Amino acid sequence: MHGIHRHRVSLGGDVYLILTGIRRCLKCDVLMGKDVLEANEPKIVHHFLYDPETRLANRKDAEATSFPFPGVFLRESFISEEEEEKLICTMDQNVWNESQSGRRKQDFGPKVNFKKRKVRFGGFSGLPALSQRLVLRMQQEPSLADFQPVEQCNLDYHPQRGSAIDPHLDDSWLWGERLVTINMLSDTTLTMSLEQGLPELGLAEEVQVAVCLPRRSLVMLHGEARHRWKHAIRRDDVRGRRVCSTYRELSAEFLPGGQQAELGAQLMNISLSFAGTPI
Ligand SMILES: O=C(O)CCC(=O)C(=O)O
Ligand SMILES: [Fe+2]
């Protein structure tokens, strides 16, 4: 049993920050902040597994409960082994920046202040060249025919860094309906959660739906899976190095007819030049 939590919280050190949302010390596994309190109350969670064939969420235990789980599109083997190797090799020639919760990142997109709702071009020079054929391939999918991403974010997860991403909803002021992610280097699980449960199904406590993401697959979240259910990658589900690229499109406000259509058009032009270097 731990007495005192000894590891100082320090920038640039090998101890992670409470501020960045990590709530458990990676060295001694001591819980920090509000999680100390929460850990003392057992939390009931109803676990389901998403079936991409039927688009149902099926209860993991013996009980045969299922409910429709719309808003997840999954395409296995979206990229080949050779493409994966080339993509990772190219990413690794660029700098990876330390991010939150043991992740590293590379961003190709405008500089955004979500709190102040401000967008700047910053040093945005477009999506990377290798993404051009991938975006064309996405557009072959009927559900992505008009998908025009203006941002690509590469994230690098590793079990040794305890990488994870806490449950969250992506912004929907700037970013549009579809969130597209290519999953590389290892299989993982995207955990979808609804804290208030589904009382209409007799599930009064949190409900979680596990969506398996095979290596080299593409997943697209939209509708309820985008706006109602939070998504997360649990630390335990990072089983080896995992790199993903998430592509985001503009919301209606930044598209033709919207209040910021001009800015949107400029962002789209830069983005789809595919001349990008990370910002
Ligand atoms: O790692 C992932 O697949 C999800 C990343 C994510 O949710 C985000 O960057 O907003
Ligand atoms: Fe997200």
Q: For 164-220, write each residue's pLDDT tens digit.
A: 999 999 999 999 999 999 999 999 999 999 999 999 999 999 999 999 999 999 999
Quote the pLDDT of residue 42: 83
- 96 secondary structure, DSSP code: P
pTM: 0.88
User: In terms of residues, how long is the chain?
Assistant: 279
Q: How confident is the model at residue 41 (pLDDT cuts 50, 70, 90)?
A: confident
**Hey, how many other C-beta atoms are within 10 angstroms of the C-beta on 62?**
5
Pick from 36, 33, 37, 30: nearest CA to 15: 30
* Residue 6 predicted with pLDDT over 50: no
Taking every pair of Cα atoms in the chain, the longest distance, rounded to a whole number of angstroms, is: 60
| Distance of alpha carbon 55 from alpha carbon 72, whole angstroms | 8
Q: How far is CA 1 from CA 28, 29, 31, 236, in A?
A: 10, 11, 12, 22
ipTM: 0.99
How confident is the prediction for the chain on average, in pLDDT?
90
Pick from 84, 219, 100: nearest CA to 162: 100
Give me ligand 2 centre to Cα 231, in Å: 6
Domain boundaries, the chain: 1-42, 44-271
CATH level 2 (architecture), domain 44-271: Sandwich (2.60)
Question: Span 267-276, mean pLDDT?
Answer: 95
Identity (one letter) of the amino acid at 116? K
| Distance of alpha carbon 70 from alpha carbon 55, whole angstroms | 7
Ligand 1, CB cutoff 6 Å, lining residues: 153, 155, 165, 170, 181, 231, 233, 244, 246
